[in-house]
Structure formats: C-alpha cells, structure tokens
Amino acid sequence: MSDKTAAVPTDSVTPGPERLALQKRVDLSVASPSYLMWLKFRRHRLAVASAVVVIMLYVIAAFAEFIAPHDPEKQNALNAYQSPTQIHFFDNSGQFHLRPFVFGTTSVRNPDTFELEFADDTTVRHPIRLLVRGDPYKMWGVFQSDIHLFGVADPDAKFFLLGSDKQGRDLFSRIVYGTRISMSIGLVGVLLSFVIGIIIGGISGYFGGVVDIVLQRVIEFVRSMPTIPLWLGLAAALPSDWSIMQIYFSITIILSLIGWTGLAQVVRGRALALREEDFIMAARLSGTSQTRIILRHMVPSFMSHIIAALTLAVPEMIIAETALSFLGLGLRFPAISWGVLLQEAQNLRSVALAPWLLAPGGMVVISVLALNFFGDGLRDAADPYRN
Amino acid sequence: MTDTGPTAIKTTVPRRILDVRGLSKHFPVTVGILRREVAKIRAVDDVTFHVHAGETLGLVGESGCGKTTTGRCLLRALDPTAGEIIFDPGDVEPVDVAALKGKALKVLRQDMQMVFQDPFSSLNPRWTLLDLVGEPLVAYGVSRGKALETRVAELLRSVGLRPEYMRRYPHAFSGGERQRIGIARALALNPKLVVADEPVSALDVSVRAQTLNLLADLQEELSLTYIFISHDLSVVQHICDRVVVMYSGRVVEVADTDDLFSAPLHPYTEALLSAVPKPNPDAAKNRIVLKGEIADPANAPSGCAFHPRCTYAKDICRQQAPPLTTMESGREVRCHLAAELTLAGVN
Amino acid sequence: MVDVVLDVQNLRAGFPTPEGFVKAVDGASFSVRRGETIGVVGESGCGKSITARTILRISGTSDQNLSGRIEYRPPGRNAIDLLGLRANGPEIRAIRGAEISMIFQEPMTAFSPVHTIGNQIVEALRLHRDVTYEEARVAAIGMLKRVEMSNAERSIDAYPHQLSGGMRQRAMIAMALMCSPQVLLADEPTTALDVTTQAQILSLIREIKEALGMSVVMITHDLGVVAETSQTVAVMYLGRVVEIAPVRAIFNDAKHPYTKALLASVPKLESRERLEPVSGMVPSPFNRPSGCPFNDRCPAAMPGVCDVRMPSETNVGDEHTVSCFLYGGDEDGSRRVDGL
C-alpha cells in the first residue's frame, strides 16, 4: 500500500479521445434534427464535394449572361471551328505574368489547301481581366449590361476557352447558357413530379385499402411503359411552330409524366411506415388534431426523405432532356441546352475536326454524377436517428 | 348491479371506474383486389371485466391473446366491434367510451392516457422534451408559453428527470429515461386512468425496477388507476391488485393477485405460473410444460380454446366453449372443470 | 483438477465507432466445465453477447482490438487458443458449428429464408462430416424429432417463415446439435418467446445437454432463466466478470454489490416488497468510470480506492470469486474487509 500510484492499472485512466467523444455527445443532446442531419451528411465526403459542384452549376445557370464571356449567338464565319484558346502565364521572352493572358492570332492562308490557318502571334498579349466590358446582354431579360465576369478587353482577340462551333460561336459561353436550361428542366420537371407524386402517394399511403391498391396498380402500369418510345411519340407530336417557352414546358410535362411514380412510391412508403409509429398514436391519444399530426409529426418526418428522393430524380430528368434534344425531338435551335449543343457533335466529321464539341457531354456527366452523390448523401442523412 | 367484491371483508364497495362488458374486436381477413372478407380474426372476443378506482389491474397473457388490442380499444385507439366500455370518472356522469365520437371523445381522453411499450418509437425524435411532454397541454389549450414550461418542468421533476433537460431531444436519453418521458406525457393532463402497455418489458433489469417504483409512487401521489398490460407474471404480481388472464382473445380468469398466484382456478393460469423461471435455484421444479402452441385467434379450436394444450381436458371441453362464471368465492373463471380441479399456485 | 472445456482468460474486445472506441469486453475471465451449464448474466451493454461471438470468432472485431486467451480443450487433443486462429481460417471453421455451436435470440437470422430448414441442417452436417445427402437427411429428421419438432418428416421441408417462433428455435437448436458439439453457446435463446414456449425450450436444452454431455453457456439477462438452468453463474458488468460462483452461492450469498443490486431489482413471485434497484443506469460505453466499473453506482464505493484502481479477482469461498475491494481485490489481498 506504500506506493499507491504504482498499483494504478494503466487502463483505469480515461484516455483523451473518449473524453472528447463525451463532450461531443453532451452537445448533441440539444442538437436539432437538421444539425444531426448535417453531421451525418458531413461524414459523406463525396456528397459534400458534390454539393459544392451542384451549387456551382446552379450559380452558373442563374448568372449565365454575366459568367459567359461572349454572346452565345454571336456568329463569325472567320472563327469557325477554332480550337480551345490556350491560356499562358509566360510570354515569348519567358517572363512570368501573374495575370494570365492569351496571345493574339495571325491568319495565314495555307498555300496547299487554301484553308485559312491560325497561329499564335506571340508579340501581342491580351490579358484576361475580371469584370471586362464585352458583348451587351440583358440580365434575366431585364438589366441591360455589358460587363462580364472575365474576358479579354479587345473585342477582336480570339478567346474561346472550349473552342468554337461551325458558326464561330463560343462553345464555352453556349455551355454556360445551356446549363440554365438543362439544369432547370430537371428542377422544374421534378417539382412537377413532386406535386403529382406527393398528392397521389399521400392519398395512397394515408387512406390505404382499395384506394391504395388501385393507385399502386396505376403506378405499376405507368412504370412498365417503355419511356423512350413514349417520350419520342409525345415529343414528336409537339407543333413545330411553338415558341421555345412552350416547347420547354411541354417537354417538362412529358418528362414528369413518368417521373412522378418513383416519388409517389417514396411518399406512400413513408406515410405507411409513419402510420404505424407509436408516436403518431400517442399524439392522437394526446388530443392532437389530425391536421397538426400531419403538419407537425408526419411532414417533418418524411420531408428529408422526399428531398433526397427529389435530388436523385433530377439527374434522370437531365439525362432524359439531353437524350430527347440530342435526337432532335426535345428542345431545338435556337434554344440552347446541353442536348441541343451535342446535336452538333452528331456527325463524325465534325467530331474528328473539332472534338471539343463533345464538351457539353462532359457537363452532363459531371452534373449527373454530382447530383447522384449529393442525393445519396442526403438519403443517408435523412434519418439521423437510425444509428 | 351488485358488486361482487373479491373478499367479503371489504366494507366499502370500491367505485368501478371502468366497466367493460362484452368487448369484441374482430379484424377481417381479406383476399384479392376487392378485399373480399374470407375470415375474421377474433382478436378480442366478448371480454368482460371491471376496474376499481385507485387499483392496478393487470391484463396478462402471451402474444396474440388480445391484451394489447383490448387496451387500445379501451382508449379508442382502435374502434371496438361490439361491447360497452362504461367509464365513471366520479365527478361527472358515467359515459360509454365505445359509443363516443368527435368532441366528446377528445374530452374523455383527458381522463384516460397511455404509456407505450417501446420507449424509442413512442417519442417523435424530432421534438424536444418540452414539445413532447407539452403536446397534450397544447392540444387541449391548457397552457402555453411560460406556463407550459413551468408545467412541463413540474412533470419532468415528478418522473425524476431534471427540468433543465427540456430543450433536449429524446436521442440524448437512455431507454429508461425515455420511458419516464413517456410517463410524464401521459400524466400531463392529470388523467384518472392510465393504460400502460408493457411499460417495462423493453428495459434492463435495474431500470425496470426503478420504473416500477416510479409508477407505484405516482399512483399513490396522484391517486391514479392503472391498467397494466404485461406478459411478465413476476412484474404483474409485484404491481397489480387484481389480474385478468387472457387466452386467445378471451378472458379466462379474473382474480385478486394473491388468490390468483396462490390458487389459480384455470389450468392455463396454472401452466403460465409454472412456466415463469424463478430467480431461486432452490425453488421446486415440478414444471408443467405445455404441449403445442398458443391458439391462433384466426383459427381458434372448437370448444374451449385451451383444450388442445390442457392436461385436464375432457370431452365437454372439446365440444362446448365454457362461459365466464362467477364462483362462490366471487372469483371469475372460464373453465368447465373449475369447481372440480385443485390447481397449484406458486406460493 | 476440474475438467475445463473452455477457458476464457482476460479477454478484451473492442470496436472503433465514429463516436470513439468501445471497449465491449474489458478483461473478462471465466471457464466452462465439461457437462455443466454456465449462466452469463448482465444488462445490455455488459459485453455478454460479444464475448460469446468472440469465442467463435464471429464478432467482427479486428485482431488488433482483441487480446487475452480463449483456450478450447477438446477431449483427447491438445488445447487450442481460439484467439490465435485466423478469424476465417480453416481451423476455426472446423470447430465452429461442429465442436462449439451457437444459437441466437432470433432464429430468423440464423436461417436463410430461401432454403428449407432441412437443407440447411443437412448442409451444416455435411460441412463437417463425410456423409451422403440421404444419410444427412435421415440424421436431420432424427434430430428434429429429438428437439420435439411437431411432425418432423414434414417440417423438414418447411421454409423458416412457415414455422412459429418456438418451432424455429427448435429447428435452430437441431442445426446447432447436428455435430454433437462439446459446447453450446446460447445467446438469449428464449428472450423473444412467450413464457410457456420458453419453458418448453429451456427444458429441451436441459434434456439434450444431459443426454449429450455437452457444456452450455447460457447468455441471458433473466435471472430466473439462470437460476433454473445453470450450475455456475458469471455476472458481467461493463465488459468484466465481476462475480462468478455456483448458482446457489450467487442467489443466496452474493458478494459483489452489483450482483446484490441486480437481485434486489427483480420482482419475486413470493413477495411484493418495494424493489430496491441500484441507482442510476449503465454508463455509456464512451463514459466508463475510472477504477472499478461499478464504483459510480455502488452504495459501498470507497472513494480513493474504487475510483482509482481496478479490483482484481479474490477468492471468497468454494469456487466463488469476486472482483471487489470490499473482499480484497488487491493483488496482496491486504485490503480484505470481512463481514460486509
């Protein structure tokens, strides 16, 4: 008993990390559901990164006029099939410039083919600046401006980040404008599906019984229809003289006609599961009114699941739009969407000559992947109480 | 109606706070899209018993015996198929709970509350303790704002939880503490009758004992009447004054706890008592091990539902369903042979 | 020298979780004698199930989070340290299900829903014995009859969901016994069952144990089940065996304050006295008290002793060991306080 300290077994001392974990748990006891969801979502690294990408895509869509350095419709036969302009930091004397720049170009007629060929004119530097004046535009059709996020000041300088198309239009600017339609058609389509889905799914799950059985059969029937021919048929039936807006909304409606079924099933499943929860019965026995049970107990419990399901439905819509437009049955010129842009990459010659025309396809891949990972993360975080 | 009190010694006839007569709940078994009814599950079939004010009545049986369904019918969480549930709160006229609708039912529910088995699914994880315990108070417009907080704090204190915790969410609490939250919620409106459906069966041994003590203390403090639904006979024996034993949707025996445990009248009660593992290695082990399985209420045997497993069964048991009869002692039992048999209890 | 078939010494098993490292088993020691039933009791989180799963190496704990020794002594062969085997290696697989088998609380998890129970039992036997399908099937029907499966010839071709809970439990016991194991680990085998069915299953396990001469490790939270089935009882608290003794000594002469508290928490059929449960609750695995794991709830805790050091095992009677400073608990035993 003389040396008490020596008798202390090493494992009786609480190590640091456990204390820390305890500290965290105490804080969690007052953590709101949304905070718990955030904690759980945060653990899903890929989803967090994807969320950033998704937000960037929607920012680009919202401020397309400002972000695009050029007017997407500005044609110039001289600029046809320009390859992506290189951005430089070192000038011809090897001197480093902090501000990136592009070289000027000189055109030389090839004496053999008589084609106009371009070469960098390394003596002229066009620095890339932020907030430069360029092509005039109307922001959201309202605010007149000619200030772009970035660009080169000289209107004659060739500045095509992703090259140009046959008419000499800047592909980068067109992709930026295409983001607006492609990303929003998914969102609007999903919102429409959501309205149909939540009504039908809610009715099915809440009432159950015969109503549920009938609606489930309807959903199964709709889901069993082959989507591509259906879309093709419906899209082909759209009058060709409709405006971009009319076509845009018709396509959205066509896409949601199928899309709502998945959401209806999610809503129904949650509603059915919730009906069995003891806390719903406890609320009923506590005298809580039906409306309050639905609004305060049921809706918050399945809202997060619905948002996750919605996020996962957006990429399907984007792909569907792209596919339809690519086939020439969705949006058409002069609308700009990724699908419409990809139409230009349809023939082999232009792909061989100007492979950068496939860039809109890359955007589709990026956006669909990002939305899917983001949705996965949301789905996992939707119920933070289940361990 | 004369009261057949369990013992003649009792001079004052206790008020019957609840009188259940012929309560039945049948669930249809349906097939196909048109939901054609092909059979009925008689989950609760002609159940009759009463509850005295201030007592704890145990509702005992194994899974599928209809005890939970009975409890839910009493609170009208389920609508009974038939029968009367006369509730006499004492201060106002007795009402038939089975016939109440809308507003009248809401008024009644202030007096009857429920404690659930599962301390996890019975609390909305997205609500704080203040919201959860205050829910009935808000629903009945009893109090709000500061007054609500004061009342919730008082309720939390009465179930042994610290009032400072009222801004916390249920996930911060253990099973036993959650069960206390559920009890606080049930007591918010000062009910007279609390139906506790297996309130301790999801809890660990030591926490179970704490919760049982809490329930007993609250009963004394607030002069509550409990209907205690359980499959655990040792818990029932500990907390209940009288016991209703159910088998296959029917009441098979009603008796004072001491009578029931020392001298059961129904062979099923005897087997049930004998089956309980006793925490005493020196206890006699002359166990009755029943053959076969618990009767399925969807497909109940002819005659007495217990006859295929009963060691005493005679021809009459196979042919006729026995009625629930009151014996000379005042005890009720549903068995043809109750007068002839001498069955073994546990004490 | 007593005939020990399974000897667990200073077993530690833990899991990393996002909230921190959980010491599920923290120095548990007990031994199982040939032909006896040892009851392992404790509340949720005491590590009793993980201990059983670690014996069979199915706990999913990685090797660096395991320490101690689990010695299996098969008759007529050399002792094997199960912890020294590879978690999925051929040696442990030869033992698992053949020499040491396990039954679970929920038989549905032990059976695959897409095969008949007969095929699964036959498979279990043919994995370890060189028999034809027909021979195995005959043996399976025999075993199902032995576990009093109603209508064994027909039930053998049933899918698990077609059987009632009690019958599924019987089928699982039959599967576990196909190779006549030396040790049966029963993890809460009757918790999900009704009392009358529980009585059937417990008496079945007892009969078969006696007939086959095997040992049973009965893991349960129910002191009643322990009292009825076990010859020796090990009481676990927060990953440690705090007391181990013959069943009568545990129920009549418990030493450890936790064992006493546990016994006082159980309503007895004979008396209706107010229960005297231990205060508080089992601490979260991330917030283990220092020193003796029970010191923060212990009515007899000695400040400066119990909250500083871990008590060691002290022998307090005939095969009765307890880990508590009230009875010694120091290596030199100088702290023994008698009469408490």
Tell me whether 0.90 is exceeded by the ipTM.
no
Instruction: Specify if C105 maps to a domain.
Output: no
Q: What average pLDDT does range B331-346 have in this prediction?
A: 87
What's the pLDDT tens digit per position in A186-238?
A: 888 888 888 888 888 888 877 777 888 888 888 888 888 887 788 778 777 87
Answer yes or no: is C104 within a domain. Answer: no
Q: Give the number of domains in chain C.
A: 2
Q: Which of A289-293, B151-155, B195-199, B314-318 has the lowest mean pLDDT?
A: A289-293
Query: Which chain A residue has its CA at the smallest distance from B130's CA?
Result: A30
> Considering chain A, what percentage of its residues have pLDDT values greater than 70?
91
Taking the Cβ of residue B323 and every Cβ of chain C, the question of whether any pair is shorter than 8 Å is answered with: no
Whether residues C129 and C78 fall in one domain: no
**Nearest beta carbon to residue A21 from set C286, C290, C334:** C286
- Shortest CA gap B300–chain A (Å): 26
Backbone angles phi, psi at C305, to 5 degrees: -115, -65
Closest chain C residue to B63 measured between Cα atoms? C194
Strand partners, A150: A130
d(CA C281, CA C271): 25
Residues C119 and C231 in one domain: no
Choose the closest CB to C269 out of B207, B239, B278. B278
Q: Which residues of A touch B139 (CB under 8 A)?
A: 286-289, 292
Of C46, C53, C43, the closest CA to residue C26 belongs to: C46
pLDDT single digits (tens) A229-249: 887 787 778 787 887 778 778
Contact A31 B169 (CB under 8 A): yes
Distance, in Å, from the CA atom of C211 to the CA atom of C228, rounded to the nearest integer, reads: 18
What string of DSSP letters covers B140-205?
Answer: TT---HHHHHHHHHHHHHHTT--GGGGGS-GGGS-HHHHHHHHHHHHHTT--SEEEEESTTTTS-H
Contact C20 A9 (CB under 8 A): no
Ramachandran sector of residue A94 (left: φ over 0; alpha: ψ -120 to 50; beta: rest):
left
Tens digits of per-residue pLDDT, C113-151?
888 999 999 998 998 989 999 999 999 999 998 888 878
Q: What is the CATH number of the domain that holds C305?
A: 3.40.50.300
Query: B113 in contact with A at a CB cutoff of 8 Å?
Result: yes
CA–CA gap between residue B321 and residue C95 (Å, rounded): 53
Q: Which residues are CB-neighbours of B18 under 8 A, at least 6 positions away?
A: B50, B51, B74, B85, B86, B87, B88, B193, B225, B227
Tell me what pLDDT residue C256 has. Answer: 93
Question: Quick one: C211 and C286 in the same domain?
Answer: yes
Q: Which chain A residue lies closest to B118 (C-alpha atoms)?
A: A278
Domain co-membership, C88 together with C5: yes
* Among the partner residues C195, C203, C276, nearest to B276 by beta-carbon distance: C195
What letters, b where the CB count within 10 A reaches 16 and e where it falls short, cover C153-180?
eebbebbbeebebbbbbbbbbbbbbbbe
Yes or no: say if A82 and A160 are a contact pair by the CB < 8 Å rule.
Answer: yes
Q: Are B81 and B242 in contact (CB under 8 A)?
A: no
For residue C324, tell me if it sits in a domain: yes
pLDDT score of C137: 93
Contact B53, B225 (CB under 8 A): yes
How many Cβ atoms from other residues are within 10 Å of residue B199's Cβ?
29
For A361-387, b/e burial (b = at least 16 CB within 10 A) is bebbeebbebbbbbbbbbbbbbbbbee
Residue B196 binned pLDDT confidence (cut-offs 50, 70, 90): very high
Same domain, C254 and C305: yes
Answer yes or no: do C26 and A25 touch at CB < 8 A.
Answer: no
* pLDDT band at residue A13 using 50, 70 and 90 as cut-offs: very low
pLDDT of residue B8: 44
C-alpha pair distances (Å), A200 with each of A79, A260, B213, C251, C264: 53, 9, 49, 61, 56
Residues of A with CB under 8 A from a CB of C: 1, 4, 7-9, 11-14, 17-18, 20-22, 24-25, 43
CB-nearest partner of C275 from B213, B283, B346: B213
Residue in the block written with tokens 């088993």: C25
Q: Which of B341, B308, B334 is nearest to B250 (CA)?
A: B334
Nearest to C269 by CA among B280, B221, B84, A179: B280
Closest residue on chain C to A16 (Cα)? C20
Chain A contacts in chain B segment 176-205 (CB below 8 A): 182, 185, 188-189
Sheet with A143-152, edge to edge strand ranges: A88-90, A96-109, A116-139, A143-152
Q: Chain-wide mean pLDDT for chain C?
A: 86
The percentage of residues in chain C with a pLDDT greater than 70, rounded to a whole number, is 95
Same domain for C197 and C140, yes or no, is no
Residues of A within 8 A of B168 (CB-CB) are 29-30
Distance CA A312, CA A265 (A): 14
| Residue from B91, B131, B152, B87 nearest B113 by CA | B87
* C72 and C173 co-located in one domain: no
Each residue's pLDDT tens digit, B84-102:
999 998 888 888 988 888 8
On the question of pLDDT at B7 being above 60, the answer is no
Residue ending a domain, among C147, C180, C213, is C180
Domains of chain A: 51-60+174-381 (1.10.3720.10), 69-168 (no CATH)
Mean pLDDT to the nearest integer, B306-317: 90
Query: Is residue C73 situated within a structural domain?
Result: yes
pLDDT band, residue B72 (cuts 50/70/90): very high
Same domain for C45 and C70: yes
Instruction: Assign C269 a pLDDT band (cuts: 50, 70, 90).
Output: low
Q: Is residue C225 part of a domain?
A: yes
Percent of chain B clearing pLDDT 70 (strictly above): 94
- Residue C339 in any domain: the answer is yes
Q: Are residues C272 and C293 in the same domain?
A: yes
> How many residues are present in chain A?
387
Distance from CA of C303 to the nearest CA of A (A): 14
Residue of A7, A24, A43 lying closest to C309 (CB–CB): A7
Domain region containing C133: 112-180
What is the mean predicted confidence (pLDDT) over A93-100? 80
User: Which of C122, C146, C180 lies at the terminal end of a domain, its last residue?
Assistant: C180
Select the highest-mean-pLDDT range: A211-215, B187-191, C157-161. B187-191
Mean pLDDT to the nearest integer, B234-247: 92
Tens digits of per-residue pLDDT, A47-79? 899 999 999 999 988 888 888 888 877 777 777
For residues C143-171, average pLDDT: 86
Question: In 3-state terms, what secondary structure has residue B317?
Answer: helix
CB contact under 8 A, A18 and C334: no
**For residue C205, is it within any domain?**
yes
Indicate the average pLDDT of chain A: 78
- Looking at the fold, whether C171 and C187 belong to one and the same domain comes out as no
Q: Output the pTM of the full model.
A: 0.80
> Does a structural domain hold residue C174?
yes
Residues C164 and C121 in one domain: yes
> Where among C180, C201, C222 does a domain terminate?
C180
Residue C18 and residue C95 in one domain = yes
pLDDT band at A12 (very low <50, low <70, confident <90, very high): very low
